[in-house]
Structure 1
Amino acid sequence: MTELRTLKVALLGCGNVGAQVARILIDDAGALAARTGARLELTGIAVRNVDAERDVELPQELFTADAETLVKDADVVIELMGGIEPARTLILTAMRNGACVVTGNKALLAQDGPTLYEEADKAGVQLSYEAAVAGAIPILRPIRDSLSGDRITRVLGIVNGTTNFILDQMDSTGAQFADALAEAQRLGYAEADPTADVEGYDAAAKAAILASLSFHTRFALEDVSCEGITSVTAADIAAAKEAGFVIKLLAIAEKLVDENGKTGVSVRVHPTLLPREHPLAAVRGAFNAVFIEAENAGELMFYGQGAGGTPTASAVLGDLVSAARRIVLGGPGRTETTTGHVPALPISAAVTSYYIGLDVADQPGVLARIAQLFAEHGVSIEIMRQTIHRDADSNVESAELRIVTHRARESALAATVEAVKALDVINSVTSVLRVEGV
């Protein structure tokens, strides 16, 4: 019987995901060896505090504060520290010393992915990052490999579990944003500082990665238009529900032709109304899902747990097995496929629909003036609903209008909203949200 070779695995970080990765490496060593053709030896775990208490019991001798020495002696480095530095320096050091790298660091990939890809190519090693987007859901490898013979035209994703939980709570219970956020924090779905989630930054980093793989072009975080969910109100949720919609924070990447005839890709994150019959509308709680449209494959949806120690560890281990098999069998490392450069288009080039809430004076001719203004800007109204309100103190009546437009260029829709604001019969524009899937 041929003796299996041993591959040294270094782990950087031992949080919820890192601890589960270490546990699986130890507990399932035999099964992993059978799948890879090599023994995967966990040689060390680099952490800031080697004496800190951890939820998973692991051999104390594995812990070290000397991450640089650890990565220089590894065949595969798993980076789960997060942040930009020292993760970036350690990954580059590992690759320059011939190690394959597995990472879940979406912020680093979105900010400086091209540097990492180029270094991996130069060193002939594999850089894998399935855990960087949508946790346990196998989405990046299917885009890179399974759909590599197709042309992806559009990607819609719920890629942040915290915001999906908050919006789902608001939809199902009628809760205000602050109350739903507090519940997410109580259950551990949201951090004490939820800014990265609720402002859309986490989803934007993932959108950049999805766009890069889907359209074979390197997109960075600055190419992503980003809007969070903090302005979404319970009234918005209720009105959307009454009209047959649900509000989700979507990461969207799609190929478009702008008004000048230039082909490019729009990458954006924003709250979006979806018809309740759309597959993404049924994604509840903290789950994630990615909906892909391709020329030949048609519509595909990937659904599952988007966070959590054990689910995300599954994605990390999948990348580790792939990297280990490449080392055993030989051959060049696999990182990404960039076949050209498709420019990033501003959000003004996107084609979408708008959902607009207006508080207007209740007097004759108001609806006609608004409809005329929309027509002048080349925007067609699909749905208009009116509700009359009477102020209890002043006894003055006003009307609440909810308008859904047909699809139009974002620039035209935004200009229409600005023009509507200037009408003397408009008390206020109460909400402006984009609509997809109609």
Structure 2
Amino acid sequence: MQDAPAIDTSALSEHVGQQVTLRGWLYNRRSSGKVHFLELRDGAGSVQCVMGKNDVSEELFASADRVAQESSIEIRGEVKAHPKRPGVFEVAVKDFQVIAPTVGEYPISPKEHGTDFLMDHRHLWLRSRRQHAIVRVRHTIIQAIRDFFDGRGFTLVDAPIFTPNACEGTSTLFETDYHGDKAYLTQSGQLYMEAAAAAFGKAYCFGPTFRAEKSKTRRHLSEFWMVEPEVAFLDLQGDMDLAEDFICFIVERVLEHRRPELAILERDVSKLEAIKKPFPRIRYDEAVAILNEARAAKRTSGEPDAESTPDFPWGEDLGAEDETVISSRYDRPVMIHRYPAQVKAFYMKRDPEDARLALCVDVLAPEGYGEVIGGGQREDDLTTVERGIEAHKLPREAFEWYLDLRRYGTFPHAGFGLGVERTVAWLCGLPHVRETIPFPRMLNRLAP
């Protein structure tokens, strides 16, 4: 096979009428007796390789009939344009070699498999067309995230994964030993990005974060990736503008580069094409009114136990079902701002027009995918931050470095965090986040 250049399947269009060599794995095989149809995948894509009985030796034709799914193979042949499907190519096989056969039957067959089985074989499940498409979309989302911030003058500043203190309580933090001292895996790099914003003006961190919540919902992972920008001299309004531009940029990039993958996932791209500015922006009070309107309608619906459905109590945070009710009214993300300060972190700035409220925002994706962005304006007054630390019963010594940011040149600033996995789930139209990351970590899963 030395007389044909080795190429990826992505380059087939450049070699029509030429002899090429392809190396990869056998994804599928079928035969009509005199013709073998071998589907080769190589990571870049896949191609149907047609082997006629009269085009190769009898021995080679027989060996191709025995090769098992996912054996690694090498094929040489002529690239041909498909006669009926523009942009699709085939390879007429002239030579064939098994590099390494599988040892035993490949575990993931075309039949239906349960979720636990597929997750136990995640290392192999990644080879499937659907999972391949999801990871490709994820790749494009991550690239878009970096391009957006890099193109707007932000500096990437890496936040630590080990943190010395459980600054907001230990219930959802993973504790670990750190050379004899107690440490925790980070839930967020935001506090460190506030320090970075004071140094660089516009900064962001991007990396894994960890939540020890005992949750089995379709929206939760124990380890997930988050991007967190922070901007000096930015208020809540500017923060919402930035988040809106950011989401639109990501969606446009996915639509531009990943339509074939979205087609494999049977994603309704018209839903994504509707993601345009401006996004609806409603106050928390308006969100509560929407929920109570929906609950009132339910009480009169005649459904079992509907009459006992209470109104949503002002002052509580929104749950997943509440977010779904609200977002179902819109064809694009909805921004809910000015939540009660009591349900937000101590560092959120209070609304000067109503001290009960925080200058914060959550962005809910449409179609029931829930919160994909959370953020807001940070409290920049030293005394107010000190009172907040005390009110939340947090260890003052853990925040001395953070208080320094208010002592030495305090400034208004704002930012947010976007969860990559929820964004992937939304854009791909997936029912569960477990497929959005190559090797998910969940409440009862630490392998493979």
Q: Output the TM-score relative to the length of structure 2.
A: 0.20
Bigger radius of gyration among the two: 2
Greater RCO, 1 or 2 (C-alpha within 8 Å, sep 6+): 1
The structure with more helix, counted as a fraction of residues? 1
Q: Output the TM-score relative to the length of structure 1.
A: 0.20
